[in-house]
Chain A
Amino acid sequence: MIEFQNVSKAYALGSGKKVLLDKVSFRFEKGLNIGILGVNGAGKSTALRLIAGSEAADKGSILREGSFSWPLGFTAGFNSSLSGAENLRFICRIYAANIPKVLEEVADFSELGDALYEPVLTYSTGMKARLAFALSMSIQFDVYLVDEIMGVGDRLFQKKCQEAFVEKSKTSSIIMVSHNMTTIRDYSDVVLLLSDGQVHIYDDVEKAIAVYEK
Chain B
Amino acid sequence: MKQFWQAFSVQKRVIFALILRETRTRYGKTRLGHLWALFEPMAHMLIFVAIFSAMGRSSPLGGSVGLLILTGLFPFSLFSNLATQLMNAVSANRVLLSYPHVMPFDVMAARTILEVLTQVTVFTFVLFILYANQLWDLQIDQLLDLIFVILIGSGLGVGVGLINSVLAFKFPSYVQTFGLIQRPLYFMSGIFFVVGYMSTDIQAAFYYNPLAHLIEWFRSAFYVGYDSTFLDKQYLLNVTLVVLFLGLLLQRLVRHKIRQEQ
Cα separation A53 to B101 with both chains bound (whole Å): 8
Cα separation A78 to B21 with both chains bound (whole Å): 11
What does the 1/0 interface line of B246-259 toward A look like (CB < 8 Å)? 00000000011001
Cα separation A58 to B259 with both chains bound (whole Å): 13
Which secondary structure characterizes the binding site on chain B? helix
Q: A79-B21, A79-B95 are in contact. Are A70 and B100 (CB under 8 A)?
A: yes
Report yes or no: B101 in contact with A95, Cβ–Cβ below 8 A.
yes
Residue of B nearest to A81 (CB): B25
Report yes or no: B95 in contact with A78, Cβ–Cβ below 8 A.
yes
Cα separation A61 to B95 with both chains bound (whole Å): 25
Q: A82-B24, A93-B16 are in contact. Are A55 and B260 (CB under 8 A)?
A: yes
Q: Which residues of the other chain, A, contact B255 by a CB distance below 8 angstroms? A: 56
Q: A55-B256, A77-B96 are in contact. Are A94 and B101 (CB under 8 A)?
A: yes
Cα separation A31 to B32 with both chains bound (whole Å): 50
Q: A55-B260, A56-B256, A96-B13 are in contact. Are A90 and B21 (CB under 8 A)?
A: yes
Residue in A54, A56, A86, A93 whose CB lies within 8 Å of B98: A54
Report yes or no: A68 in contact with B100, Cβ–Cβ below 8 A.
yes
Report yes or no: A93 in contact with B99, Cβ–Cβ below 8 A.
no
Q: A93-B16, A93-B17, A94-B14 are in contact. Are A77 and B101 (CB under 8 A)?
A: no
- The residues in A between 43 and 81 inclusive whose CB is less than 8 angstroms from any CB of B are 49, 52-56, 58, 68, 70-71, 76-79, 81
Shortest distance from the beta carbon of A87 to any chain B beta carbon, whole Å: 9
- The residues in B between 1 and 37 inclusive whose CB is less than 8 angstroms from any CB of A are 10, 13-14, 16-17, 20-21, 24-25
Residue in B24, B96, B100 whose CB lies within 8 Å of A53: B100
Cα separation A71 to B260 with both chains bound (whole Å): 14
Report yes or no: A90 in contact with B98, Cβ–Cβ below 8 A.
no
Considering only CB atoms and an 8 Å cut-off, how many residues of chain B contact the other chain?
21
Shortest distance from the beta carbon of B64 to any chain A beta carbon, whole Å: 41
Q: Which size class do A's interface residues fall under?
A: 20 to 34
Cα separation A68 to B99 with both chains bound (whole Å): 11
Report yes or no: A56 in contact with B259, Cβ–Cβ below 8 A.
yes
Residue of B nearest to A96 (CB): B13
Residue in A53, A54, A82 whose CB lies within 8 Å of B21: A82
Shortest distance from the beta carbon of B2 to any chain A beta carbon, whole Å: 14
Report yes or no: B95 in contact with A77, Cβ–Cβ below 8 A.
yes
Q: Which residues of the other chain, B, contact A96 by a CB distance below 8 angstroms? A: 13
Report yes or no: A94 in contact with B17, Cβ–Cβ below 8 A.
yes
Cα separation A93 to B18 with both chains bound (whole Å): 9
Residue of B nearest to A52 (CB): B100
Which of B10, B16, B99, B255 has the most A CB atoms < 10 Å from its CB? B99
Q: Which residues of the other chain, A, contact B100 by a CB distance below 8 angstroms? A: 52-54, 68, 70
B215 contacts the other chain (Cβ, under 8 Å)? Answer: no
A91 contacts the other chain (Cβ, under 8 Å)? Answer: yes
Report yes or no: B13 in contact with A86, Cβ–Cβ below 8 A.
no
Q: Which residues of the other chain, A, contact B13 by a CB distance below 8 angstroms? A: 93-94, 96
Chain B positions within 8 Å of A, measured between CB atoms, are 10, 13-14, 16-17, 20-21, 24-25, 95-102, 255-256, 259-260
What are 29 A-B pairs with beta-carbon distances under 8 A? A52-B100, A53-B100, A54-B99, A54-B100, A55-B256, A55-B259, A55-B260, A56-B255, A58-B256, A70-B98, A71-B98, A77-B95, A77-B96, A77-B97, A77-B98, A79-B25, A79-B95, A79-B96, A81-B25, A86-B21, A89-B20, A90-B17, A90-B21, A93-B14, A94-B10, A94-B17, A94-B99, A94-B101, A96-B13
Apart from A49-B98, A55-B256, A96-B13, what 11 extra A-B contacts exist at CB < 8 Å?
Answer: A49-B260, A54-B98, A79-B96, A82-B21, A82-B24, A86-B21, A86-B24, A90-B20, A90-B21, A94-B101, A94-B102
